[in-house]
Homo-oligomer: A and B are copies of this chain.
Amino acid sequence: MRYELYYWAGIQGRGEFVRLALEEAAAAYVDVAREAGGEGAMMRLLDGEEVEHPPFAPPYLKAGRLLVGQTANILLYLGPRHDLAPASEAGRLWAHQLQLTIADLIDEVHDTHHPIASSLYYEDQRPEAQRRTSDFLKSRVPKYLGYFEKVLARNKARGGHLIGAKLSYPDLSLFQVVAGLRYAFPRAMSRLEPNYPRIVALHGMVAARARIAAYLGSNRRIAFNKHGIFRRYPELDP
């Protein structure tokens, strides 16, 4: 079976957390919206009246007849199938808990440039974006990164992963968080990163994995840009 991933063709966005898991798993998949006619196929699953379990928004994953939406839910599904989650129920709940906390952080990243409305341009909410981003960099990023640094420190396995002695999907997602924050807020991150050595090391460890390195060097990895969740506006990162 070949998975079908449905996500916007031009951005990393939330789809990237799924792409990273599929790539690390060396899973067979099609990034549908990047194929000819793919965006139409994506919209038919979103809007089609015959879809019994319609998703609210991309990303969603088709696995045979199963259609799974919500980024963290897709990873919940993929994790145990591709050895990217612990075997026990307690371990899987812990992995999912970490993933949902990463999802909360990602929502806050989005709102740094869109604090008023997703439907408005950034330029129409710039003063609000500056106020929100200032708080985000001062209070929220340290709170989230401090949390994940603590989780890494308390993992008794000591291999540098979030959970146990092996890579799991939240490791891949935390890598993406660091990559995205570095892109969007290079100045703030250069100040902050020394406080989070375990997170920085995890980012490096993930980036060096053979399949991830190959993916990052391929044209399957879309470059960060001003349409995604992580955006670089210099005025937001003084």
Contact bitstring A130-173, B, C-beta under 8 A = 1, else 0: 01100100010000100100110010100000000000000000
By the criterion CB–CB under 8 Å, are B93 and A68 in contact?
A: yes
By the criterion CB–CB under 8 Å, are B93 and A147 in contact?
A: no
By the criterion CB–CB under 8 Å, are A77 and B52 in contact?
A: no
Protomer copies: 2
By the criterion CB–CB under 8 Å, are B154 and A54 in contact?
A: yes
By the criterion CB–CB under 8 Å, are B132 and A116 in contact?
A: yes
Knowing A76-B93, A128-B128, the reply to whether A52 touches B115 (Cβ < 8 A) is no
* Interface presence of A236 (CB below 8 A): no
* Interface presence of A231 (CB below 8 A): no
| Chain B, Cβ-Cβ closest to A70 | B100
Q: What residues of B have a CB within 8 angstroms of the CB of A115 in the complex?
A: 111, 115-116, 128, 132
* Interface presence of A72 (CB below 8 A): yes
- Central interface residue in A73, A104, A117, A139, by most chain B CB within 10 Å: A73
Number of A positions contacting B (CB below 8 A): 41
Q: What residues of B have a CB within 8 angstroms of the CB of A51 in the complex?
A: 154
Q: What residues of B have a CB within 8 angstroms of the CB of A56 in the complex?
A: 101, 104, 144, 147
* Interface presence of A28 (CB below 8 A): no
By the criterion CB–CB under 8 Å, are A73 and B55 in contact?
A: no
> Which A residues have a C-beta under 8 Å from some C-beta of B?
51-56, 66, 68-70, 72-73, 76-77, 90, 93-94, 96-97, 100-101, 104, 107, 111, 115-117, 119-120, 125, 128, 131-132, 135, 139, 144, 147, 150-151, 154, 156
Q: What 6 pairs between A and B have smallest CB-CB spacing?
A: A117-B135, A70-B100, A56-B101, A70-B97, A69-B97, A116-B131
30 contacts between A and B (CB under 8 A): A53-B151, A53-B154, A54-B150, A54-B151, A54-B154, A55-B97, A56-B101, A66-B93, A68-B93, A69-B101, A70-B97, A70-B100, A70-B101, A72-B100, A73-B96, A73-B97, A76-B76, A76-B93, A77-B93, A107-B107, A111-B115, A116-B128, A116-B131, A116-B132, A117-B131, A117-B132, A117-B135, A119-B135, A125-B131, A128-B128
Q: A52-B154, A69-B97, A70-B101 are in contact. List 8 more A-B contacts (CB 8 A).
A: A54-B147, A54-B151, A73-B97, A73-B100, A76-B93, A76-B96, A115-B132, A128-B131
